[in-house]
Structure formats: C-alpha cells, structure tokens
C-alpha cells in the first residue's frame, strides 16, 4: 500500500524514481544485483519491507551473513542456521549521520533480521561491490499501520527517500579500528600522542582505495605497531565529525597469533596496555573511542 501511494507522489525534478515490487523469494532477493550485472546503474537503491514487530521506521545499514527463517518464504524455502556467503556483515556507505533528524518514529538500525529482507539487502550491497562502487543502499523497515497510518508512513518514507538521495553527495572518510579481547577478559588499547589531542584509542587508521575493511586493519596494525592480527568480523560502525570532515569508523574484532605481542614496535603510539572489562567504560579513552568501548561492554563476552 505504501509503495502504491509513493508512486502517486510527485518526485523532485532532480530525482528520477523507479519502483519494483520484489517477490519474497531467493530470485527476488537477487533481482537488483542481477539487474546491476546486466548493466543497469542505480545512484541509490532503497528497499522497503514490513516489520510487524517494529514500533518505528527503521533505516537498516547492515546486512548480516546469516539466514534463520522463522517461516518459509513465498516459494516454501525455509533455511535455518545458515551462512550466506562467509564474507561477514556488510554495511551501507550512505552517511545517514549528516542528513537525518531522528525522532521516536525514525531510527537507524544495524539489525535487518535474518529473513529475506536481510538477504535482499545483502545481495544489493554485494552488487555495488561487484561494480566497485560505494554501497549507496539501505533497507527501510516500516511498522504496521497500527503504529503509523498509511498516510503518515507514506509521507515519512517519501521524505526519507528524498533525504537519502541528497546524502549520496556527502563525502565521508572510512576508517578502521582494532578490537582485541584476551582470553582473560582484557581489551587492547594504544596511547596516541598528537599535537592537538592525545589519549587512549583502539588503534587503526584510514581505509585506502580498493581495500576491504579487514585488509585495512591488517595493514594499519602492521604499519603502526608491527602487529600481526587475524581479523574475525566487523562489530559496528560509528560516524563522527572532526574539523568539518565526516568519518565512518568500523570496529573490527580480531585475534592475535601466539607471540605477536612480543613483536610490537611503537611507531605512532607512546605505549600500549590491556584494560579490564569492568573498567573499560570508565577508562581514559579518546572521545570517539569511548562510544565503541561502551558498545563492547554491552556485547562482551560474546562480541
């Protein structure tokens, strides 16, 4: 119903919108990626889906690597406890932080579920990867009309679409940070000294062109600390602004091979330490690293 209403609205002259209703099936999930493979180009892709348990409009920015279908899809397919492709979570590159005013009925989320919604979102993000383009895609979960009327859902969704179309022109700098938690329950931290600000951080740096998140954190740790690591998965993304520039920071959970700490060289840091988990929130982190520390404190011992 919302899609039908959206098609009746007049879009801004600078935006050309196309609509397609996708079946809740494996082929439907891959439809947009297939169209990309056939040569179609999309500046931005916005998927819409109903979320009966949602109490607000949720803009999903992460597609997980798993399927756990509580019910069968429209072809009777029901996959349980399955990895999709083994590549880990994938994140949208849209800089929502700069363009959205969140309220009680509009939030950003990193939980697209594990049904066909997540599968569809993931396949489209991979389609952008195939083309080596920034992943200008989100999945919008809409609550039922018992939460918001069809008219309000349509109006709010239309405003979100217009805002997202503007967001693709907002430049962000992608960076990575290292999260290592020892078997004894301590978190690795490094003390950076700079002319403008100094403090404890999750070490890392900028993602270079053509690098994956995992490749970037491996390189940064080797360059800054002579530290060999084994990236496991991306835990989340944080957006922040410094001196007028916007950054998107990806925190990567990693393991350390045996003996790697003995090889550390402090090339850009003054010292390193291990922080007990019960002290991690109150530790003297740099401002943007404190947000990640709070997150780790919630998900440990199962990050």
Q: Which residue has the higher pLDDT, 248 or 205?
A: 205
Domain count, the chain: 2
Average pLDDT, stretch 86-90? 87
- Same domain (yes/no): 154, 199: no
Q: Tokens in use for 252?
A: 């990567």
- Same domain (yes/no): 118, 7: yes
Give the integer Cα–Cα distance in Å for 57 and 157: 8
Conformation bin of residue 293: beta by default, left when phi > 0, alpha when psi is -120 to 50: alpha
Domain range for residue 114? 2-167
CATH number of residue 42's parent domain? 3.40.630.20
Q: Side-chain half-sphere of 27: how many Cα atoms within 13 Å?
A: 4
- Same domain (yes/no): 133, 199: no
- Same domain (yes/no): 109, 204: no
pLDDT at 225: 96
Give the integer Cα–Cα distance in Å for 18 and 31: 14
Domain boundary among 128, 151, 167: 167
- Same domain (yes/no): 236, 187: yes
Average pLDDT, stretch 259-281? 91
CATH number of residue 269's parent domain? 3.90.79.10
Average pLDDT, stretch 71-79? 95
Average pLDDT, stretch 191-207? 89
pLDDT at 303: 45
pLDDT at 283: 94
Number of other residues whose CB lies within 10 A of the CB of residue 261: 16
Domain boundary among 135, 167, 199: 167
Q: Supply the mean pLDDT for the chain.
A: 87
Q: Tokens in use for 180?
A: 């290592």
Give residue 232's Cα distance to chain centre.
16
- Same domain (yes/no): 102, 219: no
Beta-bridge mates of residue 242 = 245
């Amino acid at each position: 119903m919302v899609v039908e209403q959206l098609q009746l609205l007049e879009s801004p002259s600078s935006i050309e919108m196309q609509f397609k209703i996708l079946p809740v099936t494996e082929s439907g999930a891959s439809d947009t990626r297939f169209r990309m493979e056939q040569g179609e180009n999309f500046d931005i892709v916005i998927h819409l889906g109903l979320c009966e348990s949602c109490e607000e409009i949720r803009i999903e920015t992460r597609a997980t690597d798993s399927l756990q279908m509580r019910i069968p899809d429209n072809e009777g397919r029901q996959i349980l406890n399955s990895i999709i492709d083994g590549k880990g979570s994938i994140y949208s590159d849209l800089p929502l932080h700069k363009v959205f005013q969140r309220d009680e009925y509009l939030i950003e989320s990193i939980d697209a579920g594990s049904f066909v919604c997540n599968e569809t979102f993931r396949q489209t993000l991979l389609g952008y990867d195939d083309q080596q383009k920034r992943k200008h895609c989100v999945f919008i979960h809409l609550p039922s009309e018992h939460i918001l009327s069809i008219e309000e859902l349509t109006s709010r969704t239309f405003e979100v679409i217009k805002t997202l179309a503007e967001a693709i022109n907002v430049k962000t700098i992608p960076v990575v940070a290292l999260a290592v938690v020892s078997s004894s329950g301590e978190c690795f931290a490094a003390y950076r000294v700079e002319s403008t600000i100094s403090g404890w951080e999750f070490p890392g740096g900028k993602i270079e062109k053509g690098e994956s998140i995992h490749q970037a954190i491996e390189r940064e740790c080797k360059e800054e600390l002579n530290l060999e690591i084994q990236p496991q998965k991306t835990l989340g993304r944080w957006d922040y602004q410094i001196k007028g520039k916007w950054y998107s920071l990806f925190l990567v959970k990693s393991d350390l091979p045996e003996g790697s700490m003995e090889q550390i060289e402090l090339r850009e840091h003054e010292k390193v330490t291990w922080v007990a988990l019960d002290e991690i929130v109150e530790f003297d982190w740099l401002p943007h690293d404190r947000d990640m520390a709070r997150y780790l404190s919630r998900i440990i011992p199962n990050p």
